[in-house]
Amino acid sequence: MKFHLESWGIHLVDRFLAVWPRKKPTSTQIAACRIISHRGEHDNHNVMENTLAAFDAADHAGVWGIECDVRWTVDLEPIICHDTDLTRIFNRPSRLNELTFSQLNDRFPQVPSLSDVVKRYGGRQHLMIELKEEIYSKPEYQGRKLSQALAPLTPKKDYHLLSFNPGIFDSLNMAPADVFIPIARLNAREISRQAIQRGYAGLSGHCLLVRRKHLERHRHLGQKTGTGFINSTNCLFREVNRQVDWLFSDCAAEIQRTVDRFKGNPT
**pLDDT number for residue 10:** 65
Q: Answer whether CATH 3.20.20.190 is correct for domain 14-262.
A: yes
pLDDT beneath 70: ranges in the chain = 1-11, 16, 18, 20, 264-267
**pLDDT number for residue 263:** 84
Using a cut of 0.85, tell me whether the model's pTM lies above it.
yes
**pLDDT number for residue 14:** 72
Contacts of 126 (CB under 8 A, 6+ apart): 34, 36, 64, 65, 66, 158, 159, 160
Each residue's pLDDT tens digit, 121-138: 999 999 999 999 999 999
Please give the Cα distance from 93 to 51 (Å, whole number).
18
CB 115 within 8 A of CB 102: no
CA distances from residue 160 to 34, 131, 177, 206, 247 in whole angstroms, order as listed: 14, 10, 10, 18, 14
Pairing assessment for the beta strands 126-131 and 159-163 based on DSSP bridges:
parallel
Q: Which of 210, 260, 250 is nearest to 38 (CA)?
A: 250
CA distances from residue 100 to 27, 74, 94 in whole angstroms, order as listed: 49, 5, 11
Q: Which of 257, 235, 181, 195 is nearest to 25 (CA)?
A: 235
Residue ranges of domains in the chain: 14-262
